[in-house]
Chain A
Amino acid sequence: MTHDGVAFADAVELQRLLTAKTISSLELTGLYLQRLETYGPVYNGVVTILHERARREARRADAERARGRVRGPLHGIPYGVKDLLATPDAPTTWGAQPYRRQRFDFDATVVKKLSAAGAVLLAKLAMVELAGGFGYNDADASFTGPGRTPWNWRFWSGGSSSGSGIAASAGLAGFAIGSETSGSILFPSTACGVTGLRPTYGRVSRHGAMALCWSLDKLGPLTRSARDADLVLRAIAGADPLDPTSVDAPLSAPRRRLRVAVLKDAAKGAMPEVAANFRASLKVIGTFADVAGEVALPKGPWGPVVGTIVNAEGAAAFRDLIESGRSRELRNADDKLGGYVAYATPAVDYIDALRQRAKLNAALERAMDAYDAIVSPTLSTVTFPVGVPFDKAYPKYPGGPSLISPGNLAGLPALALPNGFGPNGLPTSFSFLGRAWGEATLVALATRYQRETNFHRERPRLLTHAPE
């Protein structure tokens, strides 16, 4: 297998190579470290490369394997984390200039769990500053510069888990960890053509993760296949006394033909390629699941409710930053002032948003009751050009209803996976929204889809230097 072949293999395949002793974890780590050095800066995907820690953990993994101890399917597999997860080896910057020198003296629970699973931490990956909570409207919103998708350097990698999408897509790590408050795993998964799994709220401990919005934040994997997303989720899931919202819950899919509904008007107003690829995906899904008609998203102020909650909780989470006047150090022009706007959110609006949340979530649960998942295009367009305000990028394609706000508001799991390409060689994707704690069902659906298609195996042609 070529170096590229190894770098782009999924974690399941990498484990086969490690088991067969075709490659050692130290060699694999060296390969990814080199790729992070080469490609990371070109695509603005990396904050800190952890050479010493990575080699130490890789040597440990190899030594254990030599003694016959293999901790599990991620043993010896190198990975990266969004730079909002605490580690003691390097600053944890939250993507933001005011926190560039911030240090913690412990590993976040997710990092601890992956370490216990034998995985090798390579790098802290780039992200949109403060996970986007202050309202940025263009890609240049991180002190590392705009994340660029490996599929086309002139376009955004998506956010806020920008570097996590880049690392999985460009073969800079075996897999990556990202976070989602409202779209931050699903968007970069789409923009970078990888598989992204947003777990149920409470499935994964957030101890050691930056808080943007306590009642919406989730951590999850960005990977090169759905089967990898499953492996990573199983390694990081579970109750943690340090995060009282985290719980133990089974991860199992029903052993029967699954029943999927299509979100009504899902492809309405979408870019033609997005709509065509979605229709083609439905045909494939229909070969292994019952596509049982359409379901309409319950009516309600989904966007204002999520926005109000993010505003109020985000302003509280970053109250120190706002009150210090240091928001002006943020990179994005909108972010510099957005915190002040959020700070002025009336308490009554926040409470009303929480009151609506109960009603809306109940309505969504009822709508999903007869189905294992709802499927829709993840986004109505391909990703945006760097340097163009988001709202000016594709005004012709407003899109139909989106499941991103409703799914996040209800804390439901979702899985995004690539399903083709659109303009400028950019990936498109669709998503399954699942019922609470139904991640294994989503993985089962996505794994079947990826067995029937090859979109997740497509590789971008990478640049070694930024174009002039």
Chain B
Amino acid sequence: MADRRSFLGAVSGVAASVLLASPADAQAPPPVAPPASPHPSASPAAKPASAYAVAAAAAMRRFDARLSDADLDAIAHGIDDDLHEGARLNPHRATALKNADEPVLRFSVERRG
């Protein structure tokens, strides 16, 4: 199952299927991974969501009591997909993060010359 987070990475306005498939993105990667979707109709045959994701999804009912069980299931699968993506953020390869690698807390583009 593809990753919603990759999808979002490509999309904030752009379609996933054309942009997801960046080999450079992918330490492990589906060239044409369909974007995971939190939509209830998506992935009906998906394996059950993790207990963590189910619990986190259930907590969303505090914001909208009308979220159905199918909604929560879809949200839980979306959370699992994102957790999977989270694991790809720090691959054990050339781009692995080291202890001293600092985050870019205030992004700006450097001016030279």
When distances are taken between beta carbons in the complex, the residues of chain A under 8 Å from B13 are 128, 131-132, 159-161, 180-184, 187
In the complex, are the beta carbons of A308 and B15 less than 8 A apart? no
- State whether B4 touches A135 (Cβ < 8 A): yes
Are A183 and B11 also in contact (CB < 8 A) when A201-B108, A391-B35 are? Answer: yes
Q: Tell me the bound Cα distance from A406 to B26 in angstroms.
A: 13
With A300-B95, A303-B9, A306-B9 already in contact, the answer to whether A202 and B22 are too (CB < 8 A) is no
Decide: B5 and A202 in contact? CB cutoff 8 A.
Answer: no
B90 touches A352 (CB 8 A): yes
Residue of A128, A161, A249, A391 contacting most chain B CB atoms (<10 Å) = A391
Interface residues of A in 190-232 (CB under 8 A from B): 200-202, 212-213, 215-216
Cross-chain contact B10 with A337 (CB below 8 angstroms): no
By a CB distance below 8 angstroms, the chain A residues around B27 are 299, 301
Q: Are A135 and B35 in contact (CB under 8 A)?
A: yes
Contact indicator B57/A340 (Cβ below 8 Å) = yes
**Which applies to chain B's interface (DSSP): helix, strand, loop or mixed?**
loop
Give chain A residues whose Cβ lies under 8 Å from the Cβ of B86.
Answer: 304, 308, 346, 348-349, 352
Contact indicator B38/A334 (Cβ below 8 Å): yes
Q: Which of B10, B15, B75 contacts A405 (CB 8 A)?
A: B10
Query: Is A405's CB under 8 angstroms from B25's CB?
Result: yes
Task: Verify B18–A411 contact, CB threshold 8 A.
Answer: no
Distance, CA A216 to CA B24, complexed state (A): 20
Which residues in A have some Cβ–Cβ distance to B below 8 Å? Answer: 128, 131-133, 135-137, 158-161, 180-184, 186-187, 200-202, 212-213, 215-216, 245, 247, 249, 265, 269, 296-311, 314, 322-325, 327-328, 333-334, 336-338, 340-346, 348-349, 351-361, 363, 379-381, 384, 389-395, 397-402, 404-406, 410-412, 436-437
Task: Report 17 cross-chain contacts, Cβ distance below 8 Å, ordered by A residue.
Answer: A133-B8, A158-B15, A181-B12, A200-B109, A201-B108, A215-B107, A297-B23, A301-B89, A302-B9, A302-B22, A304-B86, A311-B8, A311-B82, A337-B75, A344-B75, A401-B24, A402-B19
Extra pairs beyond A359-B95, A398-B31 (14, CB < 8 Å): A182-B14, A183-B11, A297-B24, A304-B9, A307-B4, A311-B8, A345-B82, A351-B103, A379-B18, A389-B37, A391-B34, A393-B17, A402-B21, A437-B109
